[in-house]
Every structure is written in structure tokens, then in C-alpha cells.
Amino acid sequence: MLHGNAVVGQSGGPTSVINQSLVGVIREVRKHNQIEQLLGARHGVRGVINDDFIPLNDVSDELLNRIAITPAAALGSTRDKPDQAYCEKIFRSFERHNVRFFFYIGGNDSADTARLVNDLARQAGHELRTFHIPKTIDNDLRVHDHTPGYGSAAKFVVSAIMGDNYDNLSLQGIKVDVIMGRHAGFLTAASVLARQHEEDGPHLIYVPEAPLSEEKFLGDVDRVYKKHNRCLIAVSEGIVVPGGKTWAERMEEGKMERDSHGNIQLSGSGALGDYLSGLIKAKLGSKLRVRADTFGYLQRSFPGLVSDVDAKEARMVGEMAVRYSMDETNLEGSVAMKRVSEKPYEVKTFLTPLSTVARETKHMPAEFIEGGNNITAAFCDYARPLVGELPRVGSFEELRR
Amino acid sequence: MLHGNAVVGQSGGPTSVINQSLVGVIREVRKHNQIEQLLGARHGVRGVINDDFIPLNDVSDELLNRIAITPAAALGSTRDKPDQAYCEKIFRSFERHNVRFFFYIGGNDSADTARLVNDLARQAGHELRTFHIPKTIDNDLRVHDHTPGYGSAAKFVVSAIMGDNYDNLSLQGIKVDVIMGRHAGFLTAASVLARQHEEDGPHLIYVPEAPLSEEKFLGDVDRVYKKHNRCLIAVSEGIVVPGGKTWAERMEEGKMERDSHGNIQLSGSGALGDYLSGLIKAKLGSKLRVRADTFGYLQRSFPGLVSDVDAKEARMVGEMAVRYSMDETNLEGSVAMKRVSEKPYEVKTFLTPLSTVARETKHMPAEFIEGGNNITAAFCDYARPLVGELPRVGSFEELRR
């Protein structure tokens, strides 16, 4: 039976529940004496190559309970994307520390790192079991039905849009809300769940999977504004123009009709939102009340606002990674979820080879998108159980219905 | 005894609890038969002059319960600031509808409108009782200890900054968070409550009351970044340069060293945040990881995230306005709160003349500000009970302490 130490690390953009997965690993490891020391790598693989570890065997339950509900990566995260040479350093660190179990919490890049390190270990004849634990607010991992982190970020987006719909009803005008998602529109699409009545916003939803021209955008806004005397727009930061370039790239090139202000940076910047509101004013009327908010990092790291389902599943995939690792037939894999029942919603985990998840991302399927500016009921069925309970709001508009 | 109809309206920027005050009025009115019809003015005084009212006597409790927890103004709001002629139209509408009680929920401008209308009624010998019900996330009403709406917006800001502190710890860099508040820094100051340990952010807090030069800003950021290898900055949208102009005005004038991109709009725009992050990169190093988020309208209209104390007090001032109006010695006033006990926190309402609240705003007192970039313990004592419970987060950093 394989005995040795284990390393756990966190990578990529934080989420509100990534620490649930970490605590899942820590708690489950304590039940299995095949694992001696559990080392937490600070800032992911960077901690591995720098021998920067936090010993996790004896952390108190009291602290673990608080860390579990704390957003962002408690071990620290990294944006490093290791190449072959970097992965060799990781592997050598594993040899030095007699690491036999590697649990890496992250997205598709992290799955790829895990795969590379795992291959090196095989080649060297160093017995290592490598598991990828999914995490991404983008929900863009192949094979996985959905990923931990998405449900809570989606709950933030739905809540924010729901509130903004009422704000927009109070003081009418045109409002642009820019939502994270460079390549996949799942998070922006979730905004559709904020709609409770026909006239509720978001009135227009744009995702990167549906190319959007300036003409279509302006035509849509004009039509909605004329109908409702207001317009609430949810737009992915990664929207593209027909032909495949992103709006941000076009803004940088100065080919859109208004100049941008220096370098365009999608997250941590209001540039796209300000560009879109400027465009609306320039083309549809300078006296219109147009505002833009970019939800930014709040979407992924907001304490006290998680989806219960998401928190529970994030914990579960962490625990399951450890359990899978105890079975000698499981040498490597990504811990994925599949739905075994729709009503009631129920999932099971399974192990999928790292190579099936690594690198490439998943996009929104065509049946989730409608007319290039809307999201379908099929998506709502898919996403609703992941987001969970929402506030039961109300409006005097209901009196007229 | 005065008998007649009543009008209730909502004005100015929405809050998360302004509808609690409205529901407080509606519920309390039902207990007093001096008021016959209760008319909800749609979009504030605009609804009054346009005879656009919602009859509120028979709205079901089920709907009222949902509206109470719904952010933004359920009756619709307005930015109209009535002059004398506009107020005469309001008064004439009151005469037409036999309105004897006027409840106006809003900030200092709304108090001023109420005052003007009240004076007209006095002059015309039309018996009218006029009450201002406070609401503003800016917390800037004179005489009032604090205002409903502030506690919930502050809770949003504290939560967001707390999460962003952990996000910034995960992926180190410099982060600028722009918070609402054109003239008063109370909301930005609340970010200080996110600090749980000495090294926690926000490391720098800038409010409009403490003028800030570009040199001081950059010097502060540089010092913090060198010490912590990261820096989290909370900044009011209304910060000013020494001499009194706002940074936004200076950006517009092009006197700051980087050009802005068209018209500067403080709320509903990422312009100030992007300007500050651009400034840091230009002066402290273009390779620094610098990001900016502008919290925008989410601060004032986020469902499911209210301060319990704030929600309760918002309801209370609505109810009390109606109760005060039943006493013939109370002809007019703004329903204010004062603290009668610090521990346990306890407030009482009192009536202050409309003229004492109208027009001018309150600023942060000097004892709440420290060194031009920090907020004092005295402020924390003031604000903590208004914000209420926060998530009990945790960090592995605690193991080193």
C-alpha cells in the first residue's frame, strides 16, 4: 500500500468556495493513515518549487471552519503556467519531500500542470497519485457538468442584476453591467435568472459565444429603450465582434469609433463598460441617462453570499479527491460531477483522466443562446439548482398584471 | 381633528431599505382613521404634479412583505429638484386631492422640497402636516445621528473589501476600490471594519474630507507595497485635491498627467478607478499588477444583503413619521435618530424642523480621520452597530501570529 506525504495547492482566480474544497481535502486526509504529512503549498506550484509549505495536519477545526467560509485561496494562488522545465522542478520537490499524493485545486490550466507533473513521475518511476479538484467561476471545464465556484459567483450576479433591475425601474435609463467571462458566457447567462416578470431586466444578454456587431447592439438597445423607457444590459467582458476579435481588442486597435483610454484590461477595469455607455450616448442620444458598472472581483470573492449547493459540492469534490486517491487503481484524474437526477437535483462524482480536462475550455452550447441577445429556458433549468435560493422580492407593478 | 388624504413618495438615489420605510408608513397609516386615502406618488414629486398615484390602502400584506425586502424605490424615484414654481404645482395637486399629510422619503434635497411645499400650504391656509423620512447611503444628513440606508450600504462595502483583502492576499498586487460618496466619506470609511488583523487591508482609505495630492497618494501606495508586497486601497469617488477641486474635475481639465476619456462621470463609470490604476502604473512601475473596481450601484441596491439594524430602523422611521403626524402639535419635521445608549446600542427618534436638515450636508468629523489616509477607532465605534454581523472569516496567517 502506498504511503507518503501529500501536497495540496490552489491555483488561478479565486472563488468564494475554493477553500471549501481545501478544507474537504484536509478533513478527509485525517481519516486515512496512508498519508503522513499534508503540506499546503503557498501560492500553488510556486510554493512547491520554493519549498514554501504550511503543515496542515494539526490545524484546528475552529480555524478550518472559518477558512471554509472565507473567499479566495487561503493557501495563496498563482498565475504561473508551468512549462516542462518548471514541472521538473515541481517533481524534484516532490521527490525531496517524499510526496506520493498531489491534490491541485484549479481550472483547466491547473489540470494541465497536474498532468505534466504526473507524466514526469511515471517516467521516473516515482509512484505518485495526482488529482485535479475543479474550481472556476467561468464554469468552462470540459467533461464536468459544472464546476464549484460557478454557483456562488452566479448567485452574486443574479442578486446584483435583480437589485439593479429595481434600481433601473426607480430612476429610469440605460444601464450596462459587465460580467466576468473571457471565453465562456455561463456567468453572464446566469443574469437571466433575475427576471421574474416579462418586463424585468436584464432585457439584453450578450455572451462571448454569440458574436455581436456594434449595429446589432445599438439596434437592440434602441428597441428595448423605446418599448420600456429603460434598458438593463448584461454583457460578458469577453464579447466578440463577428469575425472573432473581442470588443476589447477592437477598442485597443481604435477601430471602433471612439478611442479607448490606453491599455484595455478586461477585469479590474471599467473600460469596456465605459466604452459601451459612451457608444450608446454617441449614437442614440447624448442626453440619455446611461450608466455602466463592472462587477469585477466582487463576483468571485464576496463573503457571506454563497450558494449552499455550491459550497456543499466544493467540499465534496475535495473529500472525494482524497478518497479516490486511496484506491490503487486510480493513478490520476479530475474529480468531476454529473447529474443523476434533475428533480430533485442530484449529482455524483466520477474521475475523468486529466487529459480530458486539461487546457481547452468548454463553451455555452447553442441551445442556451437565443437571437444573439437572450438566454433560453433550457439554460435556466440547467443553472437554477446551482444558484439556489434567491430573495423573494416584489413590486407594485404586480398590481397591474 | 385633522382628516384627509395622505401622500407618500420616495426620492433620490435608492437604498436597500428605503422600501422598509415605505412599508412602515403604509402599515402605520392603517392604524389611524384620520387618514382616509393613502396615495403613493410614482417617481416622487413628479407623480404628484402628474396625478400619477398608486392607491396603497388595500395592498396585501403578502406583497408588502416582499416589497419591504426589495432594494430600490418601489414607488419609483426622481432626481427632480423642485423650485418655487414646481412646488406650487405640488401644492395645487395636494389641494385637488385633499391631501393633509405628506410623507417624503429622501435625503436633504427631499427635506428641502418638503419644506418649500409646507411653507406654501401655511401661506395658503391649507392645513398640511409634512414629514421627511430620512434615507441616504451617504449618511450625510445634519442633526441625524445616522440615516437608514447607510448601514446596509456599509455592510456591502465592508463585505466586499473583506473579500477583496483575501483576493489580494491570494494573487498579490495593488488594488483600488472606488466607493460611492461625492461629498461625505462615511461609506468609504466603513471599509475600515473589514480589517481584522494588523496586516489586513484596506491599507489606505481616502475620503473627500481629507484633500489628497497625487504625490501623497503615490508615496502612500509605494510605502505600503514595499512593506506588504500588496496594497488594498479604498477611495471615495469624491476625493479632492488640496485647494478643493475633485480629482474628477482635475481629470476633466487634463491637469493630471494622464488624459481622461471624455466626460468624467463618478457613479456608473469606472473612470476614477482606471485613472488611479493608470497613475500607479505610470509612476511606480508599468509591470506592477494593478487593478481597480468601482463598486457602483451594487452598493445601494443589493438584495439579500442588508444590515438587520438598518432594516429595522428604516421601518421604524417610516412608522414614527405617521405617529408624529397624528399629534396636532407636530406641523412638520424630519424624523431623526439619536443614540440613547452605546452598549447596548439603542436609538430613539425625535422630530427636527425641516429647515435644520434641508439642503446642506454633513461631513465626517475630524476625529474620524487620521493622517489623511486612515480611519480612527472612534469611527469604528460609531459605525459597527449600524453594520451589524459580519461573516467570521479566517486565514492561515493566524498560525504565524
Closest partner residue to A274 among B70, B269, B297, by Cβ? B269
Residues contacting residue B217 through CB under 8 Å, at least 6 positions apart:
B206, B276, B279
| pLDDT of A251 | 83
Cell of A173: 435609463
* Per-residue pLDDT band at A197 (split at 50, 70, 90): confident
Question: CA-CA distance, A108 to B296, in Å (whole number)?
Answer: 32
Do A77 and B171 count as a contact with CB atoms less than 8 A apart?
yes
Residue of A nearest to B13 (CA): A171
Indicate the pLDDT class of residue A248, thresholds 50, 70 and 90: confident
Burial (CB count <10 Å: 0-12, 13-18, 19+), residue B190? buried
Average pLDDT across chain B, whole number? 94
Which residue's C-alpha cell is 470588443?
Answer: A247
How many residues does this entry show for chain B?
401
pLDDT of residue B265: 59
Residue A265: pLDDT band (50, 70, 90) is low
Residue A255 predicted with pLDDT over 80: no
Tens digit of pLDDT for each residue in B280-318?
Answer: 999 999 899 999 999 999 999 999 999 999 999 999 999
Measured CA to CA, the distance from residue A377 to residue A192 in angstroms comes to 9
C-alpha cell belonging to residue A189: 447567462
Partner-chain contact A294 B261, CB within 8 Å? no
Amino acid A354 reads L
Residue A110 vs residue B250, higher pLDDT: A110
Using an 8 Å Cβ cutoff, are A166 and B300 in contact? Answer: no
- Tell me which chain B residue has its CA closest to the CA of residue A160: B302
B108-124 helix and B84-96 helix, angle to the nearest 10 degrees: 60
Asked if B292 lies within 8 A of A274 by C-beta distance, the reply is: no
Confidence of residue B244 (pLDDT cuts 50, 70, 90): confident
A258 pLDDT higher than 80: no
The pLDDT score that the predictor gives to residue A262 is 43
Of B72, B278, B395, Cβ closest to residue A166? B72
Reported as a single tens digit per residue, the pLDDT across A97-134 is 999 999 999 999 999 999 999 999 999 999 999 999 99
ipTM: 0.95
Query: In this predicted structure, what is the pLDDT of residue B385?
Result: 98
Q: Which of chain A's residues have a Cβ under 8 Å away from the Cβ of B69?
A: 391-393
Closest CA to A49 of A7, A89, A80, A103: A89
Max distance between CA atoms of chain A, in angstroms, equals 73
Kindly state the cell numbers that stand for B272.
476614477
Residue B288 touches partner A, C-beta closer than 8 Å: no
pLDDT of A51 over the 70 cut = yes
Question: What pLDDT, on the 0 to 100 scale, is given for residue A1?
Answer: 86
Q: What is the DSSP string of B71-127?
A: -S-TT--------HHHHHHHHHHHHHTTEEEEEEEESHHHHHHHHHHHHHHHHHT--
Mean of pLDDT values over A50-57: 98
| Active-site entry in A138, A140, A274, A310 | A138
Nearest by CB: A395 against B10, B70, B163: B70
| Structural domains of chain B sorted by starting position, each given as residue range(s) with its CATH number in brackets | 4-149+304-352 (3.40.50.450), 152-299+365-387 (3.40.50.460)
Dist CA B110 CA B103 (whole Å): 10
Whether residue A159 and residue B302 make contact (CB cut-off 8 A), yes or no, is yes
Q: How far apart are CA B84 and CA B112, in angstroms?
A: 11
**With left for phi above 0 and alpha for psi between -120 and 50, is residue A206 left, alpha or beta?**
beta
Instruction: Indicate if the pLDDT at residue B235 is higher than 50.
Output: yes
User: Which are the contacts of B165, defined by CB distance < 8 A and separation ≥ 6?
Assistant: B194, B195, B200, B201, B202, B232
Strands A99-106 and A4-10, sheet pairing: parallel
Q: What is the separation of C-alpha B182 from the centre of its chain, rounded to a whole number of angstroms?
A: 11
Higher pLDDT, B283 or B259: B283
Gyration radius from chain B CA atoms: 23
pLDDT given for residue B165 in this prediction: 97
Cell of A182: 473571457
Task: Give dist(CA B301, CA A164) in Å, integer.
Answer: 6
> Is A167 in CB contact (< 8 Å) with chain B?
yes
Using one digit for the tens of pLDDT, what is the confidence trace for A214-228? 999 999 999 999 999
β-strands B374-375, B369-370: how paired?
A: antiparallel
How many percent of chain A have pLDDT more than 70? 96
* CA–CA distance, A333 with B57 (Å, rounded to integer): 63
Question: Per-residue confidence at A266, pLDDT binned at 50, 70, 90?
Answer: low
Catalytic sites of B, residue numbers: 138
- First-last CA distance in chain B: 68
Residue B175 sits at the chain A interface (C-beta within 8 Å)? yes
pLDDT band at B267 (very low <50, low <70, confident <90, very high): low
Quick: pLDDT tens for B154-204: 999 999 999 999 999 999 999 999 999 999 999 999 999 999 988 999 999
Smallest CA-to-CA distance from B20 within B392, B320, B368, B401 is with: B320
Percentage of chain A with pLDDT > 90? 90
Distance CA B387, CA B139 (A): 13
- Pair B208, B179: CB distance under 8 Å: no
Residues A304-323: what's their mean pLDDT? Answer: 97
Who's near B206: CB < 8 A, 6+ residues apart? Answer: B185, B188, B212, B217, B233, B234, B235, B236, B239, B372, B373
Chain B residues with CB inside 8 Å of A14's CB?
166-167, 170-171
Contact with chain B for residue A394, Cβ under 8 A:
yes
Rounded Cα–Cα distance for residues A318 and B238 (Å): 45
Angle between helices A271-284 and A214-228 (to 10 degrees): 70
pLDDT for B90 beyond 90: yes
The whole-model pTM stands at 0.96
> What SS3 string covers B204-273?
EEECCCCCCCHHHHHHHHHHHHHHHCCEEEEEECCCECCCCCEHHHHHHHCCCCCCCCCCCCCCCCCHHH
Degrees to nearest 5, angle at CA A90 with A86 and A93: 140
Q: Which of residues 40-59 of A touch B (CB under 8 A)?
A: 40, 54, 59
B9 touches chain A (CB under 8 A): no
- Dihedral angle, C-alpha B15, B21, B23, B27, nearest 10 °: 180
Residues A351-360: tens digit of each pLDDT: 999 999 999 8
Contact A159 B304 (CB under 8 A): yes
Measured on CA atoms in the order B380, B383, B389, B391, is the torsion positive or negative? negative
